[in-house]
Amino acid sequence: MSDENKLERMRKILAKLEDIKNTQESSIDKINHVITDLFEFPDTKLEKVMEEAHQRASDNVDMVREAIEEYEIRINKMSVQ
């Protein structure tokens, strides 16, 4: 595979990673809406689940963001060569 083909594939993967990050951020937003609704209609079990889901989604965003940053560096290095 040529370097140009490899770069193109890497850029496609990067776009998918961005999509994953955006989806996770959207999930966090929806979870926050549920948590806000629970202020008006308290449910301790659901609150606990939503808090845990929020934490996991936040952790996922952080992991994917780090992966994106590292992958972008690799792409940039290949682009310069």
Q: Are 18 and 68 in contact (CB under 8 A)?
A: yes
Assign 35 a pLDDT band (cuts: 50, 70, 90).
very high
Locus of tokens 């934490």: 55
Query: 47: which 2 tokens?
Result: 């609150």
Distance between CA atoms of residues 36 and 29, nearest Å:
11
Distance of CA 49 to the CA centre of its chain: 20
Domain count for the chain: 1
The average confidence (pLDDT) of the chain is 96
**Residue 63 in this model has a pLDDT that exceeds 80:** yes
pLDDT bin (cut points 50, 70, 90) of residue 18 is very high
Please tell me the predicted confidence (pLDDT) of residue 2. 84
What's the domain range around 30? Answer: 3-80
